[in-house]
Amino acid sequence: MKNRRFATPCLLLTLAAGALLGCKKTPDSQPTVGTVSLELANMVGAKSVALDGTTYATASGETFTVSTLKYYLSNFKFTKSDGSTYAAPGEYHLVDADKAGSTAFTISQVPVGDYTGVSFVVGVDSTTTKADPLSLTGDLNPANNMYWPWSSGHIFLKLEGILTSTAKPTAFAYHIGGYRAPYNALVTAAPSFNGSTLPVRADHAPAIRFSADVLKIFDGPTAASHVPLAATTEIMSPSARSVQMAQNYASGMFTVQYIHAN
């Protein structure tokens, strides 16, 4: 504010710079980018996630309720059949089962074309986490309670509830995060399009709907990757078990329910 006396020359400079940038960014007469809509259906197996005390069961017979389910999706990368990719910059989305508006969002400025795959990070990359706190707004705001103040990093996925298959009901809290070896839980999911294509056009926005199955946090592709809830009911810092859970949800939690060309 103390630089107000420079307002006039600065304003001129700003306008000049703006004009130069503006010329460069004037869209061509033929738009070459479009928008993709994404939607998440939070599930536990075949049932929708409800935070109302509904009881769910794992394949191994443990029963539980869910009170909190939140996770970050970021670093979306779309792949065409020729192998070329488009990485969408600056997309950080906090999906919160308690906030209806958080389960659907759009990614714009995607170059037109037919895409055959997508990948995304479940979490927040360490570069962003280490960035200037000026970036800690919106979904990345630590006020969203998805942040470890003691270790400067976002929590990637948070699942809390009550384990009811134990002799006495036990509260559980799984906070998965950490981007440092040996317990790096930053994982990428690449749910298959199952042969479908995602046609991005300038004049219509195709939609992908993903299922996000909480049970897959506990079960990976092999029997060895199974993590019983009863084995540990509290994860509040990076550990071997949190990395196992991250690998589990990277490999199976997200599946494509449908792709609509619209």
Residues that bind other proteins (CB under 8 A): 1-4, 6-7, 9-11, 13-14, 17-18, 130, 132-137, 141-145, 147, 149-152, 180, 182-183, 237-239
What is the torsion angle, in degrees rounded to the nearest 10, for the CA atoms of residue 187, residue 58, residue 238 and residue 98?
80
CB of 259 to other proteins, least distance (A): 33
Query: Based on CB atoms, which residue is closest to other proteins, 141 or 257?
Result: 141
Query: Based on CB atoms, which residue is closest to other proteins, 61 or 182?
Result: 182
CB of 231 to other proteins, least distance (A): 19
Smallest Cα–Cα separation from 71: which of 253, 226, 235, 259? 253
The single-letter DSSP state of residue 91 is: -
Per DSSP, helices labelled H in the chain are 7-25, 126-129, 240-252
CB of 132 to other proteins, least distance (A): 5
Q: Which residues fall within 8 angstroms of residue 165, CB to CB, at 6 or more apart?
A: 61, 62, 63, 64, 230
Query: Based on CB atoms, which residue is closest to other proteins, 144 or 166?
Result: 144
Identify whether the C-beta of residue 113 lies closer than 8 Å to the C-beta of residue 130: no
CB of 177 to other proteins, least distance (A): 12
Query: Based on CB atoms, which residue is closest to other proteins, 93 or 216?
Result: 93
Query: Based on CB atoms, which residue is closest to other proteins, 80 or 241?
Result: 241
Query: Based on CB atoms, which residue is closest to other proteins, 181 or 223?
Result: 181
Tokens of 178: 């950490």
CB of 156 to other proteins, least distance (A): 16
Task: Report how far apart, in Å, the C-alpha atoms of 252 and of each of 64, 87, 91, 163, 178 are.
Answer: 20, 22, 22, 22, 20
CB of 255 to other proteins, least distance (A): 32
Query: Based on CB atoms, which residue is closest to other proteins, 10 or 59?
Result: 10
The single-letter DSSP state of residue 192 is: B
CB of 98 to other proteins, least distance (A): 14
Is the C-alpha dihedral spanning 172, 173, 176, 180 positive or negative? negative
Pairwise CA distance, residues 235 & 207, whole Å: 35
Q: Reduced to 3 states, what is the DSSP secondary structure of residue 164? A: coil
Q: Which residues fall within 8 angstroms of residue 31, CB to CB, at 6 or more apart?
A: 112, 202
